[in-house]
Amino acid sequence: MLSLVAFLCLPQDGLDWPQWRGAQRDGVWRETGIAEKFAGDRLTPRWTAPIGAGYSGPTVAAGRVYVTDRQKDPTSTERIHCFKWDTGALVWTHSYACSYEDFSYTAGPRASVTVNEGRAYALGAAGHLHCLDAADGRVIWKRDLQKEYRIRMPRWGIAASPLVEGDLVITQISGEGEACVIALDRKTGEDRWKALSDEASYSAPIAIDQAGKRVVVVCVADRVVGLDPAKGTLLWSYEMPGSSWPITIATPVVEGDLLFVTTEHVGAVVLRLRSDRPAVDEVWRRNGRKARSPDSLHSLIPTPLVMNGHVYGAHGRGELRCLELMTGKRLWEDTRAQPAGTFATLHLVRHRERGDRAWIFNEKGELILARLAPAGYEEVARAKLIDPTKEQLPRGVTWSHPAFAYRHVFIRNDKELVCADLTAR
Protein backbone atom coordinates (compact mmCIF):
# COMPACT_ATOMS: atom_id res chain seq x y z
CA MET A 1 0.00 0.00 0.00
CA LEU A 2 2.85 2.43 0.82
CA SER A 3 4.39 1.95 -2.63
CA LEU A 4 0.99 2.54 -4.29
CA VAL A 5 0.47 5.77 -2.34
CA ALA A 6 3.98 6.92 -3.24
CA PHE A 7 3.34 6.15 -6.90
CA LEU A 8 0.09 8.12 -6.93
CA CYS A 9 1.95 11.14 -5.50
CA LEU A 10 4.39 11.25 -8.45
CA PRO A 11 4.04 13.26 -11.63
CA GLN A 12 2.43 10.84 -14.11
CA ASP A 13 5.53 10.59 -16.26
CA GLY A 14 8.09 11.38 -13.56
CA LEU A 15 11.39 9.52 -13.59
CA ASP A 16 13.39 8.46 -10.55
CA TRP A 17 17.03 9.34 -9.80
CA PRO A 18 17.64 6.29 -7.58
CA GLN A 19 21.44 6.17 -7.47
CA TRP A 20 24.65 8.07 -8.13
CA ARG A 21 24.37 10.03 -11.42
CA GLY A 22 20.82 8.87 -12.14
CA ALA A 23 18.84 5.79 -13.12
CA GLN A 24 21.52 4.48 -15.51
CA ARG A 25 24.47 5.93 -13.56
CA ASP A 26 25.42 7.99 -16.62
CA GLY A 27 24.65 11.62 -15.68
CA VAL A 28 21.73 11.93 -18.11
CA TRP A 29 18.35 13.49 -17.24
CA ARG A 30 15.73 11.88 -19.47
CA GLU A 31 12.57 13.75 -18.46
CA THR A 32 10.79 16.10 -20.86
CA GLY A 33 8.85 19.31 -20.27
CA ILE A 34 11.72 21.05 -18.48
CA ALA A 35 12.07 24.84 -18.29
CA GLU A 36 14.64 26.71 -20.39
CA LYS A 37 14.55 29.93 -18.41
CA PHE A 38 14.19 31.06 -14.82
CA ALA A 39 11.79 33.67 -13.45
CA GLY A 40 14.57 35.50 -11.64
CA ASP A 41 18.14 35.26 -10.44
CA ARG A 42 17.18 32.93 -7.56
CA LEU A 43 15.03 29.80 -7.69
CA THR A 44 12.24 29.75 -5.13
CA PRO A 45 12.34 26.41 -3.33
CA ARG A 46 9.30 24.18 -3.37
CA TRP A 47 10.48 23.14 0.07
CA THR A 48 13.53 22.97 2.33
CA ALA A 49 14.35 20.49 5.06
CA PRO A 50 17.02 20.80 7.77
CA ILE A 51 19.89 18.29 7.65
CA GLY A 52 23.48 18.11 8.86
CA ALA A 53 26.77 18.19 6.98
CA GLY A 54 27.92 15.81 4.28
CA TYR A 55 29.28 15.45 0.76
CA SER A 56 26.75 12.86 -0.44
CA GLY A 57 24.30 13.93 -3.11
CA PRO A 58 20.58 13.11 -2.73
CA THR A 59 18.83 10.32 -4.60
CA VAL A 60 15.13 10.02 -5.45
CA ALA A 61 12.98 6.89 -5.82
CA ALA A 62 9.29 5.99 -5.53
CA GLY A 63 8.32 9.40 -4.22
CA ARG A 64 11.03 9.60 -1.59
CA VAL A 65 14.31 11.54 -1.31
CA TYR A 66 17.31 9.96 0.44
CA VAL A 67 20.41 11.67 1.79
CA THR A 68 23.04 11.06 4.48
CA ASP A 69 24.74 13.41 6.93
CA ARG A 70 26.87 13.59 10.06
CA GLN A 71 26.31 15.03 13.51
CA LYS A 72 29.26 15.77 15.80
CA ASP A 73 27.40 16.53 19.04
CA PRO A 74 26.90 15.04 21.53
CA THR A 75 28.75 12.17 19.80
CA SER A 76 29.86 11.49 16.24
CA THR A 77 27.03 9.83 14.34
CA GLU A 78 26.10 9.28 10.71
CA ARG A 79 22.45 9.51 9.70
CA ILE A 80 20.40 8.25 6.78
CA HIS A 81 17.28 10.32 6.02
CA CYS A 82 14.17 9.75 3.93
CA PHE A 83 11.84 12.62 2.97
CA LYS A 84 8.62 12.91 0.97
CA TRP A 85 9.56 14.23 -2.45
CA ASP A 86 6.69 16.73 -2.79
CA THR A 87 6.59 18.30 0.70
CA GLY A 88 9.99 17.61 2.25
CA ALA A 89 8.31 16.02 5.26
CA LEU A 90 10.63 13.65 7.10
CA VAL A 91 9.54 10.02 6.72
CA TRP A 92 12.29 8.33 8.74
CA THR A 93 15.87 8.66 9.98
CA HIS A 94 18.33 5.95 10.91
CA SER A 95 21.44 6.96 12.91
CA TYR A 96 24.47 5.10 14.20
CA ALA A 97 27.73 5.89 15.99
CA CYS A 98 30.66 6.45 13.63
CA SER A 99 34.25 7.53 14.32
CA TYR A 100 35.90 9.94 11.87
CA GLU A 101 39.40 9.63 13.34
CA ASP A 102 41.15 7.84 10.47
CA PHE A 103 40.70 10.30 7.58
CA SER A 104 40.51 14.00 6.72
CA TYR A 105 37.71 16.19 5.33
CA THR A 106 35.29 15.17 8.05
CA ALA A 107 32.12 17.09 7.15
CA GLY A 108 30.17 13.88 6.59
CA PRO A 109 29.42 10.84 4.39
CA ARG A 110 30.45 10.83 0.74
CA ALA A 111 28.48 8.08 -1.03
CA SER A 112 24.96 8.60 -2.37
CA VAL A 113 22.26 6.18 -1.22
CA THR A 114 21.41 3.53 -3.83
CA VAL A 115 17.73 2.53 -3.96
CA ASN A 116 16.76 -0.75 -5.63
CA GLU A 117 13.55 -2.80 -5.41
CA GLY A 118 12.43 -1.26 -2.14
CA ARG A 119 15.82 -1.39 -0.45
CA ALA A 120 18.10 1.55 0.33
CA TYR A 121 21.86 0.88 0.46
CA ALA A 122 23.87 3.48 2.37
CA LEU A 123 27.67 3.39 2.70
CA GLY A 124 29.25 5.62 5.32
CA ALA A 125 32.63 7.35 5.22
CA ALA A 126 34.15 4.88 7.71
CA GLY A 127 32.80 1.79 5.96
CA HIS A 128 29.44 1.16 7.63
CA LEU A 129 27.11 -0.38 5.04
CA HIS A 130 23.38 -0.54 5.74
CA CYS A 131 20.57 -2.12 3.77
CA LEU A 132 17.32 -0.52 4.87
CA ASP A 133 13.70 -0.92 3.95
CA ALA A 134 13.29 2.14 1.74
CA ALA A 135 9.71 2.74 2.91
CA ASP A 136 10.11 2.68 6.70
CA GLY A 137 13.87 2.71 7.43
CA ARG A 138 13.89 -0.72 9.07
CA VAL A 139 17.40 -2.25 9.02
CA ILE A 140 17.35 -5.39 6.85
CA TRP A 141 21.07 -6.03 7.30
CA LYS A 142 24.22 -4.10 8.13
CA ARG A 143 27.98 -4.64 7.91
CA ASP A 144 30.90 -2.87 9.58
CA LEU A 145 33.26 -3.22 6.62
CA GLN A 146 36.14 -1.39 8.31
CA LYS A 147 36.21 -3.92 11.13
CA GLU A 148 35.39 -7.02 9.08
CA TYR A 149 37.67 -6.35 6.10
CA ARG A 150 40.41 -4.43 7.96
CA ILE A 151 40.13 -1.48 5.59
CA ARG A 152 43.33 0.36 4.68
CA MET A 153 41.52 3.65 5.07
CA PRO A 154 41.96 6.14 2.19
CA ARG A 155 42.99 9.59 3.36
CA TRP A 156 39.52 10.95 2.52
CA GLY A 157 37.47 7.99 3.70
CA ILE A 158 35.20 5.56 1.86
CA ALA A 159 33.35 7.26 -0.98
CA ALA A 160 32.28 4.91 -3.79
CA SER A 161 28.48 4.80 -4.05
CA PRO A 162 27.26 1.18 -3.95
CA LEU A 163 26.36 -0.47 -7.26
CA VAL A 164 23.53 -2.99 -7.42
CA GLU A 165 24.20 -5.53 -10.18
CA GLY A 166 21.93 -8.54 -10.37
CA ASP A 167 21.72 -10.11 -6.91
CA LEU A 168 24.83 -8.28 -5.67
CA VAL A 169 25.74 -4.94 -4.14
CA ILE A 170 29.29 -3.99 -5.15
CA THR A 171 31.64 -1.29 -3.91
CA GLN A 172 35.34 -0.64 -3.36
CA ILE A 173 36.71 -0.32 0.16
CA SER A 174 40.48 -1.07 0.12
CA GLY A 175 40.12 -4.09 2.37
CA GLU A 176 43.17 -5.99 3.57
CA GLY A 177 44.56 -8.61 1.21
CA GLU A 178 42.56 -9.08 -1.97
CA ALA A 179 39.51 -7.10 -0.89
CA CYS A 180 39.82 -3.76 -2.63
CA VAL A 181 36.45 -4.43 -4.33
CA ILE A 182 33.79 -6.54 -2.66
CA ALA A 183 30.38 -7.97 -3.53
CA LEU A 184 27.67 -8.86 -1.02
CA ASP A 185 24.30 -10.51 -1.50
CA ARG A 186 21.97 -7.56 -1.86
CA LYS A 187 19.15 -9.26 0.07
CA THR A 188 21.09 -10.84 2.95
CA GLY A 189 24.40 -8.94 3.10
CA GLU A 190 26.37 -12.20 2.98
CA ASP A 191 29.83 -12.24 1.37
CA ARG A 192 29.81 -13.29 -2.28
CA TRP A 193 33.30 -12.38 -3.49
CA LYS A 194 36.26 -10.08 -2.99
CA ALA A 195 38.85 -8.99 -5.55
CA LEU A 196 42.15 -7.15 -6.06
CA SER A 197 44.94 -6.25 -3.67
CA ASP A 198 45.02 -2.62 -4.90
CA GLU A 199 44.34 0.38 -2.74
CA ALA A 200 40.93 1.90 -3.33
CA SER A 201 40.13 5.18 -5.01
CA TYR A 202 36.96 7.23 -4.45
CA SER A 203 35.40 6.42 -7.82
CA ALA A 204 32.02 4.68 -8.00
CA PRO A 205 31.89 1.47 -10.07
CA ILE A 206 29.65 1.05 -13.11
CA ALA A 207 28.30 -2.01 -14.95
CA ILE A 208 28.38 -2.28 -18.75
CA ASP A 209 27.70 -4.78 -21.54
CA GLN A 210 30.82 -5.91 -23.38
CA ALA A 211 31.36 -8.82 -25.75
CA GLY A 212 28.09 -10.43 -24.69
CA LYS A 213 28.97 -10.24 -21.00
CA ARG A 214 28.23 -7.95 -18.09
CA VAL A 215 31.38 -6.26 -16.86
CA VAL A 216 31.88 -4.14 -13.73
CA VAL A 217 34.29 -1.29 -14.43
CA VAL A 218 36.18 0.16 -11.47
CA CYS A 219 38.90 2.79 -11.18
CA VAL A 220 41.09 1.61 -8.31
CA ALA A 221 44.19 3.46 -7.11
CA ASP A 222 46.47 3.20 -10.16
CA ARG A 223 44.48 1.40 -12.85
CA VAL A 224 41.05 0.84 -14.31
CA VAL A 225 39.79 -2.74 -14.37
CA GLY A 226 36.96 -4.85 -15.72
CA LEU A 227 35.59 -7.53 -13.39
CA ASP A 228 33.18 -10.42 -13.87
CA PRO A 229 30.25 -9.37 -11.65
CA ALA A 230 29.32 -12.97 -10.84
CA LYS A 231 32.71 -14.01 -9.43
CA GLY A 232 34.91 -10.92 -9.20
CA THR A 233 37.38 -12.42 -11.68
CA LEU A 234 39.68 -9.90 -13.37
CA LEU A 235 38.75 -9.68 -17.07
CA TRP A 236 41.02 -6.82 -18.12
CA SER A 237 43.25 -4.13 -16.65
CA TYR A 238 44.72 -0.85 -17.88
CA GLU A 239 47.49 0.71 -15.81
CA MET A 240 47.36 4.44 -14.94
CA PRO A 241 50.39 5.03 -12.69
CA GLY A 242 51.72 8.42 -11.65
CA SER A 243 49.52 9.53 -8.75
CA SER A 244 51.27 11.00 -5.72
CA TRP A 245 48.58 9.12 -3.78
CA PRO A 246 45.28 7.49 -4.82
CA ILE A 247 43.07 10.38 -5.87
CA THR A 248 40.69 9.21 -8.62
CA ILE A 249 37.17 10.45 -7.83
CA ALA A 250 35.43 10.79 -11.22
CA THR A 251 33.33 7.85 -12.39
CA PRO A 252 34.33 6.13 -15.67
CA VAL A 253 32.14 7.29 -18.57
CA VAL A 254 31.03 5.06 -21.47
CA GLU A 255 30.00 6.30 -24.92
CA GLY A 256 29.33 3.49 -27.38
CA ASP A 257 32.43 1.28 -27.36
CA LEU A 258 34.62 3.98 -25.81
CA LEU A 259 35.53 4.35 -22.14
CA PHE A 260 36.74 7.73 -20.83
CA VAL A 261 38.68 7.91 -17.57
CA THR A 262 40.17 10.98 -15.87
CA THR A 263 42.10 11.56 -12.66
CA GLU A 264 43.58 14.75 -11.24
CA HIS A 265 47.19 13.57 -10.95
CA VAL A 266 47.51 11.44 -14.08
CA GLY A 267 45.27 12.99 -16.73
CA ALA A 268 42.85 11.36 -19.16
CA VAL A 269 42.61 8.29 -21.35
CA VAL A 270 40.13 6.84 -23.85
CA LEU A 271 39.97 3.07 -24.17
CA ARG A 272 38.11 1.06 -26.79
CA LEU A 273 36.00 -1.75 -25.38
CA ARG A 274 36.64 -4.73 -27.61
CA SER A 275 33.59 -6.51 -28.97
CA ASP A 276 35.17 -9.94 -29.53
CA ARG A 277 36.22 -10.49 -25.90
CA PRO A 278 36.40 -8.60 -22.61
CA ALA A 279 39.51 -6.50 -23.26
CA VAL A 280 40.46 -2.88 -23.97
CA ASP A 281 42.72 -1.10 -26.43
CA GLU A 282 44.17 2.35 -25.87
CA VAL A 283 42.83 5.01 -28.25
CA TRP A 284 44.73 7.93 -26.74
CA ARG A 285 46.29 8.96 -23.47
CA ARG A 286 47.29 12.41 -22.29
CA ASN A 287 49.32 12.60 -19.11
CA GLY A 288 50.57 15.73 -17.46
CA ARG A 289 52.07 16.98 -14.24
CA LYS A 290 49.02 17.13 -12.04
CA ALA A 291 46.63 20.00 -12.82
CA ARG A 292 49.31 22.06 -14.59
CA SER A 293 48.87 20.23 -17.89
CA PRO A 294 47.68 22.65 -20.58
CA ASP A 295 46.24 19.97 -22.84
CA SER A 296 44.28 17.30 -20.98
CA LEU A 297 41.49 16.94 -18.46
CA HIS A 298 42.64 16.36 -14.89
CA SER A 299 39.29 16.17 -13.14
CA LEU A 300 39.47 16.33 -9.36
CA ILE A 301 35.94 15.86 -8.00
CA PRO A 302 33.41 16.07 -10.88
CA THR A 303 32.64 13.38 -13.46
CA PRO A 304 32.74 14.74 -17.05
CA LEU A 305 30.04 14.43 -19.69
CA VAL A 306 30.61 12.69 -23.00
CA MET A 307 28.15 13.82 -25.65
CA ASN A 308 28.06 14.29 -29.39
CA GLY A 309 31.62 13.08 -29.85
CA HIS A 310 33.14 15.42 -27.26
CA VAL A 311 34.10 15.45 -23.60
CA TYR A 312 33.03 18.32 -21.35
CA GLY A 313 34.40 18.49 -17.85
CA ALA A 314 35.99 20.51 -15.07
CA HIS A 315 39.80 20.58 -15.05
CA GLY A 316 41.84 20.57 -11.81
CA ARG A 317 40.89 24.11 -10.74
CA GLY A 318 37.33 23.93 -12.06
CA GLU A 319 37.97 25.30 -15.54
CA LEU A 320 35.35 23.96 -17.96
CA ARG A 321 37.12 22.23 -20.87
CA CYS A 322 36.07 20.59 -24.12
CA LEU A 323 38.09 17.74 -25.67
CA GLU A 324 37.60 15.78 -28.86
CA LEU A 325 36.60 12.31 -27.73
CA MET A 326 38.52 10.46 -30.45
CA THR A 327 41.77 12.42 -30.22
CA GLY A 328 41.90 14.08 -26.79
CA LYS A 329 42.60 17.42 -28.46
CA ARG A 330 41.55 20.35 -26.30
CA LEU A 331 39.19 22.66 -28.19
CA TRP A 332 38.44 25.28 -25.58
CA GLU A 333 38.52 26.30 -21.92
CA ASP A 334 35.99 28.60 -20.26
CA THR A 335 35.69 29.95 -16.72
CA ARG A 336 32.32 31.69 -17.01
CA ALA A 337 30.39 28.85 -15.37
CA GLN A 338 32.73 29.31 -12.42
CA PRO A 339 36.02 31.12 -11.89
CA ALA A 340 39.05 28.86 -11.50
CA GLY A 341 40.11 28.17 -7.95
CA THR A 342 41.62 25.52 -5.71
CA PHE A 343 39.41 22.42 -5.77
CA ALA A 344 36.70 24.35 -7.66
CA THR A 345 33.87 22.02 -8.66
CA LEU A 346 31.28 21.85 -11.45
CA HIS A 347 28.77 19.00 -11.68
CA LEU A 348 27.44 18.42 -15.22
CA VAL A 349 24.27 16.55 -16.18
CA ARG A 350 23.20 16.06 -19.78
CA HIS A 351 19.62 16.99 -20.70
CA ARG A 352 18.53 14.33 -23.18
CA GLU A 353 15.45 16.28 -24.33
CA ARG A 354 17.74 18.82 -26.02
CA GLY A 355 20.89 17.19 -27.30
CA ASP A 356 23.34 20.04 -26.74
CA ARG A 357 22.15 21.17 -23.31
CA ALA A 358 23.65 20.48 -19.91
CA TRP A 359 22.64 21.39 -16.39
CA ILE A 360 25.68 22.66 -14.50
CA PHE A 361 25.75 23.07 -10.74
CA ASN A 362 28.69 25.09 -9.44
CA GLU A 363 30.17 25.28 -5.97
CA LYS A 364 28.60 28.70 -5.40
CA GLY A 365 25.21 27.00 -5.32
CA GLU A 366 24.16 28.24 -8.78
CA LEU A 367 22.25 26.14 -11.29
CA ILE A 368 23.11 26.86 -14.93
CA LEU A 369 21.52 25.66 -18.15
CA ALA A 370 24.07 25.86 -20.97
CA ARG A 371 24.65 24.79 -24.54
CA LEU A 372 27.87 22.82 -24.85
CA ALA A 373 29.33 22.46 -28.33
CA PRO A 374 32.75 22.23 -29.99
CA ALA A 375 32.39 25.92 -30.85
CA GLY A 376 32.17 26.91 -27.19
CA TYR A 377 30.10 27.47 -24.07
CA GLU A 378 26.80 29.36 -24.31
CA GLU A 379 24.86 30.14 -21.17
CA VAL A 380 21.07 29.89 -21.48
CA ALA A 381 19.98 30.54 -17.89
CA ARG A 382 21.47 30.86 -14.40
CA ALA A 383 19.93 31.18 -10.93
CA LYS A 384 20.98 30.76 -7.33
CA LEU A 385 19.65 27.49 -5.91
CA ILE A 386 21.28 27.11 -2.48
CA ASP A 387 23.82 28.98 -0.37
CA PRO A 388 27.38 27.69 0.14
CA THR A 389 28.33 26.47 3.61
CA LYS A 390 31.74 26.21 5.28
CA GLU A 391 31.79 22.73 6.82
CA GLN A 392 33.44 21.25 3.73
CA LEU A 393 35.86 24.09 2.93
CA PRO A 394 36.43 27.39 4.77
CA ARG A 395 35.66 29.57 1.73
CA GLY A 396 32.15 28.12 1.55
CA VAL A 397 31.20 25.58 -1.13
CA THR A 398 28.44 23.30 -2.36
CA TRP A 399 30.25 20.17 -3.49
CA SER A 400 27.40 17.65 -3.50
CA HIS A 401 25.95 16.34 -6.77
CA PRO A 402 22.29 17.31 -7.41
CA ALA A 403 19.51 14.87 -8.27
CA PHE A 404 16.98 15.54 -11.04
CA ALA A 405 13.60 13.82 -10.82
CA TYR A 406 9.89 14.55 -11.33
CA ARG A 407 10.88 17.74 -13.22
CA HIS A 408 12.51 19.03 -10.05
CA VAL A 409 16.07 19.46 -8.81
CA PHE A 410 17.15 18.28 -5.36
CA ILE A 411 20.34 19.55 -3.74
CA ARG A 412 21.89 19.87 -0.30
CA ASN A 413 24.47 21.90 1.56
CA ASP A 414 25.61 21.34 5.14
CA LYS A 415 22.43 22.78 6.65
CA GLU A 416 19.48 21.96 4.43
CA LEU A 417 18.06 19.86 1.62
CA VAL A 418 16.33 21.92 -1.10
CA CYS A 419 13.80 21.01 -3.81
CA ALA A 420 13.00 23.41 -6.68
CA ASP A 421 10.54 23.06 -9.56
CA LEU A 422 12.04 23.10 -13.10
CA THR A 423 8.82 22.34 -14.98
CA ALA A 424 8.28 24.32 -18.20
CA ARG A 425 5.38 26.76 -17.83
Task: Give per-residue pLDDT as tens, 45-55.
Answer: 999 999 999 99
What are the backbone angles phi and psi of residue 104, rounded to the nearest 5°? -105, 175
- 269-284 average pLDDT score: 98
For 314-332, how does the pLDDT look when each residue is reduced to its tens digit (9 = 90+)? 999 999 999 999 999 999 9
pLDDT of 263 over the 70 cut? yes
Q: Residue 74, preceding bond cis, omega within 30 degrees?
A: yes
Q: Give pLDDT, residue 1.
A: 46
**Torsion-angle region of residue 21: left (phi > 0), alpha (psi -120 to 50) or beta?**
left
**Do strands 346-351 and 28-29 pair parallel, antiparallel, or not at all (unpaired)?**
parallel
Q: Give pLDDT, residue 116.
A: 98
Q: How many CA atoms lie within 13 A of 25 on its CB side?
A: 26
Q: Give pLDDT, residue 292.
A: 58
Q: How far is CA 342 from CA 273, 288, 298, 384, in A?
A: 34, 18, 13, 21
Q: What is the CATH number of the domain that holds 386?
A: 2.130.10.10
For 139-153, how does the pLDDT look when each residue is reduced to its tens digit (9 = 90+)? 999 999 999 999 999
Q: Give pLDDT, residue 11.
A: 57
Q: Give pLDDT, residue 14.
A: 72
Range of the domain at 49: 2-421
Q: Which residues pair with 322 in a beta bridge?
A: 312, 332
401: helix, coil or strand? coil
Q: Give pLDDT, residue 19.
A: 98
Q: Which residues pair with 270 in a beta bridge?
A: 260, 284
292: helix, coil or strand? helix
Q: Give pLDDT, residue 10.
A: 58
Q: How far apart are CA 33 and CA 46, in angstroms?
A: 18
Q: Give pLDDT, residue 5.
A: 45
pLDDT of 312 over the 70 cut? yes
Closest of 391, 390, 338 to residue 364, by C-alpha: 338
Q: Count of domains in the chain? A: 1
For 236-254, how does the pLDDT look when each residue is reduced to its tens digit (9 = 90+)? 999 998 888 899 999 999 9
4: helix, coil or strand? helix
The strand order across the sheet containing 128-133 reads 114-116, 119-123, 128-133, 139-144
Distant-in-sequence, close-in-space partners of 83: CB < 8 Å, separation ≥ 6: 49, 64, 65, 66, 67, 89, 90, 91, 417
Q: Give pLDDT, residue 244.
A: 85
- 164-189 average pLDDT score: 98
Band of residue 192 on the pLDDT scale cut at 50, 70, 90: very high
pLDDT of 3 over the 50 cut? no
Q: Residue 58, preceding bond cis, omega within 30 degrees?
A: no
Q: Which residues pair with 286 in a beta bridge?
A: 268
For 331-385, how does the pLDDT look when each residue is reduced to its tens digit (9 = 90+)? 999 999 999 999 999 999 999 888 889 999 999 999 999 999 999 999 999 999 9
For 62-71, how does the pLDDT look when each residue is reduced to its tens digit (9 = 90+)? 999 999 999 9
Can you give 108-127 as a three-state secondary structure string?
A: CCCCCCEEECCEEEEECCCC
